[in-house]
A and B are shown apart, each in its own frame.
Chain A
């Protein structure tokens, strides 16, 4: 249970995270998120679906893999089909036929990635719809209104997102604006009892700006915090330091969602740094290029070396693809125009991420997380001299020494 509350505390946001175990050495935690559509074990990886569907996998298949929370994308859904239609379909859950939890983002991140369409002002983000060319304004109020209509279990504030490679006054402007937009989102949120609004810490790669943002945002009464503005083009050295700084200043009894992460190594390291929730398009996107994720990295199954390899992608993996199919068959299928190959890989890659998180969690609960990390790194990289230096540093900073 959460630590004894400060008697003077005015906070009334629900404590949705129940901590089950903490690593004695690092900042890793295992917990349970109690959300309207069920409990979610943390740390958790949340697969990403754009336009209300996981590319290459049905809601039913995702359920069968054990997924209990995934992402819906407000930018695309808000434009097409639009919140009115989704409300008619009983919200995003009804529209997708997904009975577990959903997290929607604000639509802000797409502004950065599709920046040629957009213009940021204090009001909001003005952009041109790629579907019909109409100009719209995505304000904090509008973003929350759309997400209220979607009915997702966790909704994200609209933040002023700046690429992590940008420097100068724009970063500071965006940080302060994100705080103001957080307040506007909180004020506009009509369903705090049904939907959990998360704040997003910004500040780029500047420690002072980030610290300021942390100090201000943690004063606000929200059920959870996301660490944003990272996982862009920044160096890994800067990346981990900003994550560590953020987790050191975020309350322990609320979930920490690190947005846009990702690769297996990043997940493991960032769990050690104290993050609970992750999302990334990487596993599904890389599947569509014929790449299968395995504990030693990845297999580019289109390559000739797999032509006569009759073993499954991963003999330890319990996913339907590995239960039924060999690398050789998938290789042949990948060289055809039958998209089924991509679906097989999508299923496997999501299963890989979910199984990884499960294993991480079990090791925390069983008080052997540091050994798990050492084992993981060894399997992934082999020789300690091949370990990425940033990962070694990051882990050392929280008391886990490698090799």
Chain B
């Protein structure tokens, strides 16, 4: 795998990742996104309807939370999850959790992490986790990690430290197990940067993880409240500054267009794409424009006073209608409203 940067500026990275996949001949653009799936399928869509969409992401995101319980089936199947789900040609990244359904906190121990599937909790030690990955055979997978430092309202330094320590231990165990597995030689482990909102721990996590032979980095714990604050954004820049340039940076739990742009400006390369699913579930349709004007001043002059460009960089309007109890954003319209 080779990441080549074409351009870097304003904190943003533009580039290509080449030689991807088992056959080493796939390419991905960065910044880029991953196709969101649930139990190995795009939500609501069959292969036929999915492929009516142009420019699908080259890499799909699978979640261990939806697949761990099918471990036995996949082991017996032998040919890997890509073929099992009917996506043999696609690049696959396996994350621990589903970004849409937060999992209950309090189940990470020094020895194990749990995920929640349709059938309930699946507890995984490093060896069980790697056994499952052996059955899945994804191209990339998020390493077993402790993401709970960010679950509490305020992270204690102690808890932040623990999340970093545990995640590094898990990483070292998994790397060791990977060496012994022939099947997993072609898969890349993505190291997970933890540390809650504690700068010191975040930097430690970044530096230590970067010392390991990982394929890339997942910035965990920046979803939700942390993203909305200046402190969180500053933390993000500080973390990416510590990471090597030639490996991809993924972030989880961030999918809204405005948040994605903020992260791109702070050195993040790859994103999950669950936002369209959330919009769908509340009966809304995405309608935002993402045209860019090379000469914004001139364009603003031409429009009759409305400032379209600035609109979407504003804070999200919290629009509550009677039909839509979830938070709508300014990127969508509610199709159930009579005036649509």
Measuring CB to CB, which residues of chain A are less than 8 angstroms from any residue of chain B?
A: 58, 60-61, 64, 307-308, 310, 320-321, 324-326, 328-329, 332-333, 335-341, 343-344, 347
A58/B85 in contact, CB under 8 A: no
**Given known A-B contacts A329-B86, A335-B119, A320 and B73 have beta carbons under 8 A apart:** no
In the bound complex, residues from chain A placing their C-beta under 8 Å from that of B48 are 61, 64, 320, 347
Choose, from B33-41, B210-218, B307-315, the stretch at the interface: B33-41
CB distance from B323 to the nearest CB of A (A): 14
CB distance from B73 to the nearest CB of A (A): 5
Bound CA–CA A344/B39 (angstroms): 14
B118/A339 in contact, CB under 8 A: no
B39/A333 in contact, CB under 8 A: yes
In the bound complex, residues from chain B placing their C-beta under 8 Å from that of A340 are 41-46
Main secondary structure of the interface of A (DSSP, over half): helix
Which residues from 14 to 52 on chain B have a C-beta closer than 8 Å to any C-beta of chain A? 38-49, 52
Pick from A60, A328, A337: contact of B77, CB under 8 Å: A328
A332/B73 in contact, CB under 8 A: yes
B84 interface residue per 8 A CB criterion = yes
In the bound complex, residues from chain A placing their C-beta under 8 Å from that of B46 are 61, 320-321, 340, 343-344, 347
Shortest Cβ distance from B37 into A: residue? A338
In the bound complex, residues from chain B placing their C-beta under 8 Å from that of A339 are 43-44
B163 interface residue per 8 A CB criterion = no
Which residues from 61 to 85 on chain B have a C-beta closer than 8 Å to any C-beta of chain A? 66, 70, 72-73, 76-77, 84-85
In the bound complex, residues from chain A placing their C-beta under 8 Å from that of B47 are 320, 324
B45/A328 in contact, CB under 8 A: no
A338/B119 in contact, CB under 8 A: no
In the bound complex, residues from chain B placing their C-beta under 8 Å from that of A329 are 40, 84-86
Bound CA–CA A61/B47 (angstroms): 11
B70/A332 in contact, CB under 8 A: yes
In the bound complex, residues from chain B placing their C-beta under 8 Å from that of A307 are 73
In the bound complex, residues from chain A placing their C-beta under 8 Å from that of B66 are 336
**Given known A-B contacts A324-B86, A329-B84, A338 and B44 have beta carbons under 8 A apart:** yes
In the bound complex, residues from chain B placing their C-beta under 8 Å from that of A333 are 39-41
Bound CA–CA A325/B39 (angstroms): 14
A61/B84 in contact, CB under 8 A: no
Bound CA–CA A336/B85 (angstroms): 13
In the bound complex, residues from chain A placing their C-beta under 8 Å from that of B38 are 336-338
In the bound complex, residues from chain A placing their C-beta under 8 Å from that of B85 are 329
In the bound complex, residues from chain B placing their C-beta under 8 Å from that of A326 are 84
In the bound complex, residues from chain A placing their C-beta under 8 Å from that of B84 are 326, 328-329
Bound CA–CA A82/B41 (angstroms): 36
In the bound complex, residues from chain A placing their C-beta under 8 Å from that of B70 are 332
Give me 11 A-to-B residue pairs in the complex whose CB atoms sit less than 8 angstroms apart, sorted by A's number. A61-B48, A308-B72, A310-B77, A320-B47, A321-B46, A328-B73, A338-B39, A338-B41, A339-B44, A340-B43, A343-B49
Chain B 237-274 interface mask (CB, 8 Å, partner A; 1/0): 00000000000000000000000000000000000000
B73/A336 in contact, CB under 8 A: no
In the bound complex, residues from chain B placing their C-beta under 8 Å from that of A341 are 41
CB distance from B268 to the nearest CB of A (A): 27
Shortest Cβ distance from B84 into A: residue? A329
B118/A308 in contact, CB under 8 A: no
Bound CA–CA A356/B118 (angstroms): 36
Bound CA–CA A344/B48 (angstroms): 10
CB distance from A354 to the nearest CB of B (A): 16
A336/B77 in contact, CB under 8 A: no
CB distance from B110 to the nearest CB of A (A): 31
In the bound complex, residues from chain A placing their C-beta under 8 Å from that of B118 are 335-337
